[in-house]
Amino acid sequence: MTDTTALVADTICRTVELGVTITGAAIAEDRTWIDCRPVEADPTCPTCGQPGRLRDHVDRVLTDLPVVGHPTRLRIQLPRFTCIDDGCEVTIFRQRIEAVAAPRATTTRRCARWILQRLAIDKMSVSAVARALGLGWNTVNSLAVSLASELVFDKPGHLDGVRYLGVDEHKWKHLRGQGDPDFVTVIVDLTPVIDGTGPARLLDMVAGRSKAALVEWLDKRDANFRSRVQVVAMDGFAGYRTATAEALPAARAVMDPFHVVHLAAEKLTVCRQRIQQATCGHRGRVGDPLYGIRRILLTRTDLLTDKQRDKLATALDGDDAHLPVEVTAWCYQDLIAAYADTNKRAGKLAMFKCLKRIRTGLPAGLEELAQLGRSLWKRRSEILAYFDVGVSNGPVEAINGRLEHLRGIALGFRNLDHYILRSLIHSGQLQERINAL
C-alpha cells in the first residue's frame, strides 16, 4: 500500500488516533480485515526499561468499530524483542499498545466505549450491537458490564459525597415457584435528595435479599466510605437492620414511614376481615357495613369528605361488635398524624406515645393491634429516628418503580448481570459520563 493510500485509509478509519497505520485490507465473508502496524516502534523492556533487540513479529487481532455497516477486525503486526539485560527476568517481550486496547482485551478501547454508548444513548439491544460487531451476546454484555462498573466504582471520588443510603429489595424476575434468587438488594444514594442538589442515584444492585448480601457489598467499600455514611433508610426487613449495625456501626438506621404506615394498614385490613367474618359469617359483600368502608378506613381523616365521614361513623358506631376495627383505625390514624405533624419534636413524642400505648396490655379482641404494637416497639429506635434525620426510602421506591418499568418494556430479563447493567444505565445517572467517553 502506497503512502498516499495508507494516509487516506488511516483518515477514513481514524486509525491514527490509535497509534497504528494501515498496511493492507481484505474482505472475508461478512467482515472487513484491516492489517496495520504501530506508527512508532517501542523496544523498551517493560521490566528493566532497557531497549531490546528486534526478534520477530506477531499478529494481534482486535475487534474495532464497524466500517460501512460491516464488522471489522484489526490485525496488528506487533514487533517482539529480546531483552539484552542478562539480569532481567523477561527474555522476550512484544511492544505494548495500551492506547489501542487493554491488556488481554479482544476489542479496541474505542470499540468498548462504542458498545456502552450504543446501549445507553441509542437504546440499542445487546443482540443488535453484537451483530454490528460480529461478536457473541455474552462477549458484548460482559464488556458493557465491566465498563459500566468502571464508570461507577473505579473513578476516584465517585462515592466521596455519599452520606445517606437507601436499601430495599427488588424482584427482578417473576417466575412461579422462584424464591430469593430472583430478588436483588437495591442500594441508592439519597444524598442529592437530602442536600437538594438533584435526584437519587442507583449505586448498585446485589444478588439476593439478606443481611449477607448487604454486608458483603459494604465490606467491599473502603473504610472512608463506611465512616462517611450517616444514615441508612430501609423497610421493615430485619436483615438490613442487622447488616447496617454490623457493617456501619456509626450510621443511624431509619425505618421508612411508608412501610410503618403500610404495616399498620395491613393489620387494620386483617382486623376488618376477621370482624366481618365473625359478624356476618361470610366474606365482604355489597351492602355489608364493614365492606362498604374498606377504602375509607385506609384514607387519612383530613382527606375524607363529609359523606365519607358519615358513612364511617354509621358503620363503626352502630354495632359494638365493630369496636376492634374502630380502635385499630384510631391507632392507624394516630401513626399518620404523627408523621404529618410539621413540628418534628411533637411528632416524635406523639409517635412514641402511640407505640408505647399499643405495645402491651391490650384487651382481648385486638389481636392484630397487639401484634402491630409488638412489631413496631421492636423497631422503635429506627421509627423514631426519622423525626431526627428526616430521611425516608421514598426515592428508593421511586427507582424501584422505574426498574419495574424497565423490566416491563424489555419483556423480562433472564441474565442478572445484564439486568444490573441496564438498571445502572437507566437509573445510575451515567449518561453524562458515557457521553464524555
**Sign (positive/negative) of CA torsion 185, 162, 113, 436?**
positive
CA distance 410 to 142: 19
Residue 24 is predicted with a pLDDT of 86
Burial 257-274 (b: 16+ CB within 10 A, else e): bebbbebbeebbbebbbe
Residue 407 is predicted with a pLDDT of 79
Q: Are 374 and 359 in contact (CB under 8 A)?
A: yes
Show the cell assigned to 61. Answer: 487481532
Show the cell assigned to 374. Answer: 409488638
| Phi, psi of 83, rounded to the nearest 5 degrees | -70, 130
Name, in order, each residue with C-beta under 8 angstroms of 275's C-beta and a sequence gap of 6 or more.
Answer: 290, 321, 322, 324, 325
Burial 306-333 (b: 16+ CB within 10 A, else e): eeeeebbeebbeeeeebebbbbbbebbb
CA distance 195 to 395: 13
Residue 307 is predicted with a pLDDT of 93
Residue 217 is predicted with a pLDDT of 92
CA distance 319 to 239: 42
Which own/partner contact pairs does 428-431 have at CB distance under 8 Å and 24+ positions apart? 428/148, 428/152, 428/201, 428/202, 428/203, 429/198, 429/199, 429/201, 429/202, 430/120, 430/148, 430/151, 430/152, 431/120, 431/121
Q: Are 383 and 260 in contact (CB under 8 A)?
A: yes
Residue 218 is predicted with a pLDDT of 93
Residue 177 is predicted with a pLDDT of 53
Domain spans of the chain, in order of start:
3-151, 257-389
Show the cell assigned to 341. Answer: 405533624
Q: Is 65 helix (H, G, I), strand (E, B) or coil?
A: strand
Residue spans of the chain under pLDDT 50: 179-180
Q: How many CB atoms lie within 10 A of CB 240?
A: 25
Residue 416 is predicted with a pLDDT of 83
DSSP for 116-129, please give it.
Answer: HHHHHTS---HHHH
Q: What angle do CA 289, 295, 296 make, to 5 degrees?
A: 75
Predicted model pTM: 0.74
CA distance 156 to 18: 25
Strands 31-38 and 20-28: antiparallel
Q: How many CB atoms lie within 10 A of CB 256?
A: 23
Q: Are 319 and 279 in contact (CB under 8 A)?
A: yes
Task: Give per-residue pLDDT as tens, 180-192.
Answer: 468 899 999 999 9
